[in-house]
Amino acid sequence: MIPTANTQSLDTPYGVALLNDPVLNKGTAFTPDERKRFGLEGLLPTSTDTLDRQVERVLGHLDGKPNDLEQYIYLVGLSDRNETLFYRTVMSDPARFIPILYDPTVADACLAFGHIYRRARGMYITRQMKGRIAEVLRNWPQRDIRFICVSTGGRILGLGDIGANGMGVPIGKLQLYTACAAVPPECLLPVLFDIGTTNEALRADPLYLGSREKPPSDEELDELVEEFVQAVQQVFPDCCIHFEDWKGTDAIRLLNRYADKILCYNDDIQGTASVALAGLTTALQIINAPLTDQRILFLGAGSAGIGIAKLIAAALQDEGLSQDEARSRISMFDVDGLLEPSRASLSEAQKVYAHKAAPSKDLVKTIETLKPTILIGVSTKGGAFNQRVVEAMSKLNERPIIFALSNPTDKAECTAEQAYTWSKGKALFAAGVQFPDVTLNGRTYHPGQANNFYIFPAVGLATYVTRPQRITDECFIVAAQASADQIGPDLRAKGMLFPGQDNILETEITTATRVAEFMFDEGLAQVKRPRDIRAWIEGQLYKPQY
């Protein structure tokens, strides 16, 4: 907010400097009086716009862009010029803008990151900064940083290792904290942990902006991460570290190391698991079947699959099963076939799902043998759920639950149209990207989008207000249940597994309220419990207004 004449301080930007400050800039909305006081006369057109009029102009610009990537580039530029107008625009129509700011358009933006780069929008930590990472973090102008989203770019979406080009994901994730859950943007910091890349094409690209080294050993990486983590505790002591899109083995190892020591979480593991559990909960409500009766088969056994499996197992234990019984309901199949005890080189996290079975590299035969009721794809192998796979699931189940969660779109294991067509409309389907509605034999089906934006902004909002000591797996189970509970009978009758995106803020506040209540109940919160948690949260929301 622009200071008044009585509150203007000596360090308030003046003239062109004010117009170049994205947080304070109001552009054509500066009033005549403000233009006099802040040295803006003659620097702006004569007319004074309202914020809504400015949004109208922005929407006109966006309508003239030829594709979603160009709209993304325009919106990023807008956020660099006028943060308030950017968020007012995005929050005015989240269903339209979430797919542009994040998945699937962010995949194209990351691939082209070095070519469309305009301005640094976060911090880059390199191996050469070892020993002085805390000093580097102090270069960031804000001190009350409450969330750092940090990635190595080692496993971005389904794109693999794209190094520093992965910075688009921390930027986009944190924008969704605000756009979806109204977490104040000034407390958010995107960080790219630039440790090098194995991507030879990027290393040969003269416009690539990252380190051209090969990534370090696990031991060296762990030393760097430890220094970074401790530096964050020192420089930003109230900060939650959101690990995002690290190589799978790194992601699991680091989450196991820090989850019980600092305020942190990994969205690829815990957020993905939570949104998948939310969709499964709704699907099982539709068919009136308990989770304890399900048999789940994963295609893909990386960090996302392991994370989903772990949370489902925890939910099964909450329903009364033992740990061994819960794990026995879950099987995994990856590029080398079914996970079973004869497989060499399985990680410790994978071994608990390697049940006694004959080796198999045929997914359809594995389905026929194991008879899963739920099939979850986290393989990044586009088209892996072919007609034979879907038909096999449909033959075994009256309402097969099929989740094709890999993204971007070309990595999805199957499309919504394929799932509904091949199952003859029987499938309960969700994907990691939003597919359009499908009409089959006169009936319209509404595919769900099992995207983490239903979960992590809400968990972030709950964390922002309660300042918990830790974020536990149980917080994500509560978030999953809260999301599922917002799908009423009318929506379930349409086959919808997730809330609509048109009123995403209301959805996130409801979920955040449930998570915050849990944090208070479990003694995780470090602030005094208010009488009305929802009203208390609503009083702390960011509002994009001048």
Q: Is 404 strand, coil or helix?
A: strand
Task: For residues 241 and 149, give the distance between their C-alpha atoms in angstroms, rounded to a whole number.
Answer: 6
How far, in whole angstroms, is CA 188 from its chain's centroid?
A: 14
Secondary structure class of 299 (helix, strand, coil): strand
What letter would DSSP give residue 370?
Answer: H
Question: How does DSSP classify residue 271?
Answer: I
Active site residues: 102, 173
Report the SS3 class of residue 174: helix
CA–CA dist 520, 77 (Å, integer): 40
Distinct helix (H) and strand (E) counts, the chain: 25, 14
How many CA atoms within 13 Å lie on the side-chain side of 254?
Answer: 32
Q: For residue 94, is the peptide bond before it cis, meaning its omega torsion is within 30 degrees of 0?
A: no
Tell me the C-alpha distance between 413 and 179, whole Å.
Answer: 29
CA 85 distance to own-chain centroid: 23
How many whole angstroms separate alpha carbon 429 and alpha carbon 433?
A: 12
DSSP H or E run through 264? strand 264-266
**Which residue has tokens 């919808």?**
496
CA distance 431 to 415: 8
The residue behind tokens 């698991």 is 273
CA dist 220 → 148, 213, 227, 266, 433 (Å): 22, 14, 11, 21, 35
Stretch (H or E) spanning 257 = helix 248-258
Closest CA to 435 of 453, 408, 454: 408
Query: How many alpha carbons fall within 13 Å on the CB side of residue 300?
Result: 27
Measured CA angle at 397 (ends 391, 399), to 5 deg: 95
Distance of alpha carbon 480 from alpha carbon 466, whole angstroms: 19
Rounded to whole angstroms, how far apart are CA atoms 87 and 178?
8
Q: Which two three-digit tokens encode residue 330?
A: 């879950």
Cβ(279)–Cβ(448) below 8 Å: yes
CB 74 within 8 A of CB 61: yes
